[in-house]
Structures are given as C-alpha cells and as structure tokens.
Amino acid sequence: EDQVTQSPEALRLQEGESSSLNCSYTVSGLRGLFWYRQDPGKGPEFLFTLYSAGEEKEKERLKATLTKKESFLHITAPKPEDSATYLCAVQANTDKLIFGTGTRLQVFP
Amino acid sequence: DGGITQSPKYLFRKEGQNVTLSCEQNLNHDAMYWYRQDPGQGLRLIYYSQIVNDFQKGDIAEGYSVSREKKESFPLTVTSAQKNPTAFYLCASSMRGSTGELFFGEGSRLTVL
C-alpha cells in the first residue's frame, strides 16, 4: 500500500537553530515528491518538487533533498516567520497524490 | 492577481441540510480539485476535474457532489448523506500535467451543528 509518513509530528526550535524534517515514503513508482507550507487556517502553499534521488532544491532558508526512500526538508538558521506546518506529498505512477500528516514547526525568538 | 477564491470562509449548517462551497480560479488552469483536511490526517481527495463538463471521484466522494460547467468554477455540494461533514475544505487547481504542483485556495471551514 502506498504510504507517506512525516516526522516528527511537531518540532520546536530556537531562532537560528538549524534542523531537518523527514518524509519517508513507500509507493509503487515515484513520479514526484512535493513539499508545501501551510499557515494556520490557510491553504497550503507549494514549495518544491523533487523527481529523482540525489536531487536538491533550495529557497531562502529551506533546502529539500531526496533519496530512494525519503526526503528531508532542511531549515537553516530558522526565523519565527518560518513557523508553519510543512506537508509532504508523493505522486505514484497511478498519478494519485498522497499527502503526509505534516510536521508542525514552531520557531521561538 | 491570479489565484483561487473560496467562499464562504466559515459556514455553519444544521444536520440534514445541503450546503454548497464555491471555488473560482483565474489562473487558467485546466484541472481543479477538492480536498478535505481533518486534524491528524493527510489531505484526502474528494473530487477532481481535468476538463470542463467532466469530473471523477476521489478517495472519499460519498456524500459529496460537484459540477464543472465553466473552466473557472468548481463548486462542491456537501449533502445530508455525508455522515461527518464538519471539516476544513480546500479547493486547488493545477496546470495540465502538473498534478502535484497545486495552487490552493484559503479554505472553507464547515461546522455542522
């Protein structure tokens, strides 16, 4: 069965304290892995697409990486405005998009 | 500015009533989607449409209905047959061939009293 698991469920960081969020997956034929950011009470905002193992994408303090079994979202020197829930989604070869339950990140000044 | 507009943002409904959630996009996207978000669960697909006058059921279509009469509009009706309708509903759109890169609306929170 296709599955996406995100960890940890919640993460509290001090401003400037770098860390990583994990998205592990088991799908039949990966077509793409997607990261989203969601602020409370709002819709998700698309961040990155990764297609193959070894690929990396960067945007400001965020860097997403992909292996054959998991993806990491690295946050370097986070700021309070990075606080949000980060969602991972995987597209299998059936075209179906499977979302993880997200990691809620809180960054304190 | 291009985007997706959902309305209403908050909606209260009595049991047994149908309610329709609006979704309009001006991104010129072919595909539109409705997702449901519940605490502790990933987004679940209700219905999607790749082209005008055509739509398909997602994973949790029971108790919901949609229409796609215009490219810009994809309204969702939550019927009285939906057993647990209280949730956060998200509409999204994408370009053809980019089904993982979704543009989401701000969401509609439905509460059944």
Task: Give kind and range of the element (H or E) at residue B13.
Answer: strand B10-13
- B5 shares contact with chain A (CB less than 8 Å): no
- The span from the CA of A34 to the CA of B107, in Å, is 20
Residue type, A98: I
Give the residue-averaged pLDDT of B25-34: 96
Structure confidence at residue A39 (pLDDT): 97
Q: How confident is the model at residue A70 (pLDDT cuts 50, 70, 90)?
A: very high
Mean pLDDT of B29-58: 95
Question: How buried is B54 (Cβ within 10 angstroms: 0-12 exposed, 13-18 middle, 19+ buried)?
Answer: exposed
pLDDT at A15 over 70: yes
If we measure between CA atoms, which residue out of B80, B83, B40 comes closest to residue B60? B83
Question: Do the Cβ atoms of B42 and A101 come within 8 Å?
Answer: yes
The string of pLDDT tens digits covering residues B84-105 is 999 999 999 999 878 899 999 9
Which of A8, A9, A90, A16 minimizes the C-alpha distance to A49?
Answer: A90
State how far residue B31 is from chain A, nearest Cα, in angstroms.
13
Chain B: nearest CA to A107, how far in angstroms?
Answer: 21
Give yes or no for residue B1 having a pLDDT over 70.
Answer: no
Confidence of residue B23 (pLDDT cuts 50, 70, 90): very high
Q: What percent of chain A has pLDDT over 70?
A: 100
Nearest beta carbon to residue B100 from set A41, A49, A101: A49
Q: Is B101 on the interface with A (CB under 8 A)?
A: yes
Note the maximum CA span of chain B. 40
Residue A93 has pLDDT above 90, yes or no: no
Instruction: Using a CB–CB cutoff of 8 Å, tell me whether B2 touches chain A.
Output: no
Tokens of A68: 């054959």
- Residue A49's pLDDT is 96
Q: How far apart are CA B90 and CA B102, in angstroms?
A: 11
- Interchain CB distance below 8 Å, B43 and A95: no
A62-78 burial, b at 16+ Cβ within 10 Å, e below that, comes to bbbbbeeebbbbebeeb
Averaged over B71-83, what is the pLDDT?
95
Cβ–Cβ gap A43/B101 under 8 Å: no
